Amino acid sequence: MDKKLFKITSKKQPIAQLIQIKSSAKRYWERVFTNKWMIVAIVILVLLFVLLIVSKFFYSQSYNQSINDAYSINYELPSSLAPFKSITLPEGEELNVFTELKQKYPNYIEISKINNQNYDSNSYLVLFNAYGILNDNSLHLLGTNSSGIDIYARVIKVLFDSFIICFFSILFALLFSMIFAPISAIYLQKDLSKSIEKWISIFALLPYLLFALIINLTMKFSILNFIISYSILSSLFMYINAYQISCEILKNEYINVDKSLGFSKWNIFTKDLIKPVFFSQLIFAIEQISLMLISYSALAIFNIDNTNISLGLILNESLQLFDKNPSYLLTIFVYISLTIYALKTISYSLSSAYTNIRGQNV
């Protein structure tokens, strides 16, 4: 058989087969997760959330009871990781108590006379480890407040409650505004007054602050009351924002094209409005969370409620103890700041990565 009759060749595939068509969803998530700031924000948020959950369920200290009954030495203590506290005492009964304790606990108390013209010549520097004296081997990460209560337990309690309030309030408001605002815009097709938008952008904090005051003045303090009140208020603001966005989208020419093709109002809602409204609402939702946290913490300024533990109460405590224990305020500030930063970065990345099928960024 003649070998020239046979020849091995490679068949070229059509160019169309070499092109891998990606779905719009896949392209969207690729744009999202190629953003390095998005990755950093997700890592920060996950770490903060894990830390909060682990601390909530495994940190055993009480947020409303003192660590023991020795009120004379258990207040305003530093962290048990650096347990020694220093105080200056004149000669007297209190110094005599520490002198007697030093005989029983020589490893936990040091007393030295202060030879400084700025102090009374009879003043003494007392350095003591209250945890060792009280035989308390538990972890007190941030020390105790002026009532001898573990600080970190109070921080975890308040941050967890704040997370619950913000999460459920915003979740309700987001769902409410995404559904009812576009539908209202489809049927009404009338822009809101510009003065309403300006009023919301300038004075949005005032209603939240007013609601927080009303709750504490007229109702029993509870997480549920805050969730209900903030849900109503944030739903109103987010509804107005979503309605205005929907009206702007409905002015586009492609909406008229869809109508001429026989699209129903429901088709326009699901096909043209729901995704743009959702992604544009994300950043606005984070702004509402910021307003909730500010108004929730503003209760400390008015000094209204000093019995129920809240963000305002622990902020007030941390400010009073800042010169003695700055870690109290810094922990609250860092946790809330990082959370807001991560949420804003994630929402902005999700929103900016979305491009609808007509090439419009929303």
To 5 degrees, how large is the angle CA 282–CA 34–CA 348? Answer: 20
Residue-wise pLDDT for 25-78, tens only, equals 677 777 877 888 889 999 999 999 999 999 999 998 999 899 988 878 888 999
- What pLDDT does 196 receive? 66
Beta-sheet strands, E only, within the chain: 84-90, 109-113, 123-129
As a whole number of angstroms, the distance between CA 271 and CA 252 comes to 14
- Give me 172's structure tokens: 């309700």
The answer to whether the CB of 349 falls within 8 A of the CB of 198 is no
* Partner residues linked to 205 by β-bridges: none
Helix (H), strand (E) at residue 196: helix 194-203
Residue-wise pLDDT for 247-291, tens only, equals 888 888 888 787 887 888 888 888 888 888 888 888 788 888 888
The answer to whether the CB of 207 falls within 8 A of the CB of 148 is no
As a whole number of angstroms, the distance between CA 94 and CA 111 comes to 12
Greatest alpha-carbon span in the chain: 121
* Partner residues linked to 85 by β-bridges: 128
Amino acid (one-letter) located at 269: F
pLDDT tens by residue, the chain, 362 residues: 555 555 555 555 555 455 556 666 677 777 877 888 889 999 999 999 999 999 999 998 999 899 988 878 888 999 999 999 999 888 888 888 889 989 999 899 998 888 766 655 678 899 999 999 988 889 999 999 999 999 999 999 999 998 899 899 999 999 999 999 999 988 887 777 666 666 666 666 677 777 767 766 676 677 888 888 889 888 988 898 899 888 888 888 888 787 887 888 888 888 888 888 888 888 788 888 888 887 777 766 665 556 678 888 888 899 999 999 999 999 999 998 898 888 888 888 877 776 554 444 44
CA distances from 193 to 202, 248, 275 (A): 15, 13, 24
223-250 and 274-297 helices, crossing angle to 10°: 140
Domain layout of the chain by residue ranges:
25-29+32-58+150-353, 67-147
To 5 degrees, how large is the angle CA 185–CA 190–CA 193? Answer: 115
Instruction: Indicate the SS3 state at residue 87.
Output: strand
Q: At a CB cut-off of 8 Å and minimum separation 6, what does 115 contact?
A: 121
- What pLDDT does 32 receive? 77
* Closest C-alpha to 310, from 180, 153, 158: 158
- What pLDDT does 175 receive? 93
- Give me 60's structure tokens: 């055993």
The count of other CB atoms within 10 Å of the CB of residue 249 is 21
The answer to whether the CB of 173 falls within 8 A of the CB of 288 is yes
Instruction: Indicate the SS3 state at residue 235.
Output: helix
The answer to whether the CB of 227 falls within 8 A of the CB of 165 is yes
Burial 124-163 (b: 16+ CB within 10 A, else e): bebebbbbbbbebeeebbbbbbeebbbbbbbbbbbbbbbb
